[in-house]
Structure 1
Amino acid sequence: MVVSLKDLPRVPLEEAIPVASAMYDNVANGTATFNNIARLLNSSPRTTKTKYMIWGAEGYGIIIKHENNEYSLSETGRKIVAPTYYDEDSEAKVKAILTPTIFSKFFTEYNKHPIPQETYLTNLLETKLGIPRERVEEAKEIILKNVDFTGIKRTDDKTGKEIIDLDKSTPGPKSEKKEEINPIDSDSLSIDDEIEEPVQNQEGQTWNKTCFVICPIGEEGSTERKHSDMILKHLIQPVLEVFGFSVIRADKIEQSGLITQQILENLVKARLCIADLSFNNPNVFYELGVRHLCQLPAIQIIRKGDKLPFDVSQGRAITIDTSDVYTLIDRLESAKKELAQYITPIVNNTSSDVSDDNPIKVYLPGIKVTIPR
Structure 2
Amino acid sequence: MPISTPSNRVADYGDDADHFAHVLDCLFVPAVEAAGFEPWLPTATAADLIHAEFCRGLCQAELVLVDLSGLNPNVFFELGLRTGRDGPTCLVCDDKTDPIPVDVGIWNFHRYDSTLRAWKLEGEIAVLADHLRASARRSAGHNTFWQRFGVADPEHPPEPVPLRFRIPARVNDPV
Residues 214-293 of structure 1 correspond to what in structure 2 (within 5 A)? 215-218=1-4, 223=10, 226-243=18-35, 245-250=37-42, 252-254=43-45, 256-293=47-84
AA aligned to 2:109 is A
Tell me what 2:118 maps to.
329
The question of whether the paired residues in 2 share the 8 Å contact of 1:300 and 1:318 is answered with: yes
The question of whether the paired residues in 2 share the 8 Å contact of 1:278 and 1:302 is answered with: yes
AA aligned to 1:245 is F
Tell me what 1:165 maps to.
none
Q: Report deviation, 1:361.
A: 4.0
Residues 312 and 361 (structure 1 numbering): CA distance in 2 closer, same or farther, change over 3 Å?
farther
Residues 1-373 of structure 1 correspond to what in structure 2 (within 5 A)? 215-218=1-4, 223=10, 226-243=18-35, 245-250=37-42, 252-254=43-45, 256-306=47-97, 307-309=99-101, 310-311=103-104, 313-314=106-107, 316-322=108-114, 328-345=117-134, 352=140, 355-356=143-144, 358=145, 360-363=146-149, 365=151, 366-368=153-155
Residues 341 and 242 (structure 1 numbering): CA distance in 2 closer, same or farther, change over 3 Å?
closer
The structure 1 segments of at least 4 consecutive aligned residues displaced by more than 6 Å after TM superposition are 219-222
Cα deviations by residue, 1:118-159 (Å, 9 ceiling, x for unpaired):
xxxxxxxxxxxxxxxxxxxxxxxxxxxxxxxxxxxxxxxxxx
Q: Report deviation, 1:334.
A: 3.3
The question of whether the paired residues in 2 share the 8 Å contact of 1:295 and 1:361 is answered with: no
Number of matched pairs: 147
Give the Cα separation in 2 of the matches to 1:220 and 1:355. Answer: 29
AA aligned to 1:355 is N
Give the Cα separation in 1 of the matches to 2:41 and 2:79. Answer: 14
The question of whether the paired residues in 2 share the 8 Å contact of 1:318 and 1:335 is answered with: no
Instruction: Please report the TM-score for the alignment, with normalisation by the length of structure 1.
Output: 0.34
The question of whether the paired residues in 2 share the 8 Å contact of 1:235 and 1:335 is answered with: yes
Calculate the aligned-residue CA RMSD, in Å: 3.3
The question of whether the paired residues in 2 share the 8 Å contact of 1:355 and 1:361 is answered with: yes
- Structure exhibiting the larger radius of gyration computed from Cα positions: 1
AA aligned to 1:218 is S
Give the Cα separation in 2 of the matches to 1:364 and 1:294. Answer: 16
Residues 244 and 340 (structure 1 numbering): CA distance in 2 closer, same or farther, change over 3 Å?
closer
Q: Report deviation, 1:240.
A: 2.4
SS at match of 2:18: helix
Instruction: Please report the TM-score for the alignment, with normalisation by the length of structure 2.
Output: 0.66
- Consecutive unaligned residues of structure 1, counting only runs of 5 or more, are 1-214
Residues 368 and 267 (structure 1 numbering): CA distance in 2 closer, same or farther, change over 3 Å?
same
Q: Report deviation, 1:320.
A: 1.9
Give the Cα separation in 2 of the matches to 1:361 and 1:281. Answer: 25
- Consecutive unaligned residues of structure 2, counting only runs of 5 or more, are 157-175
Percent identity of the aligned residues?
23
Tell me what 2:166 maps to.
none
Q: Report deviation, 1:226.
A: 2.0
Residues 243 and 255 (structure 1 numbering): CA distance in 2 closer, same or farther, change over 3 Å?
farther
Residues 261 and 278 (structure 1 numbering): CA distance in 2 closer, same or farther, change over 3 Å?
same
AA aligned to 2:127 is E
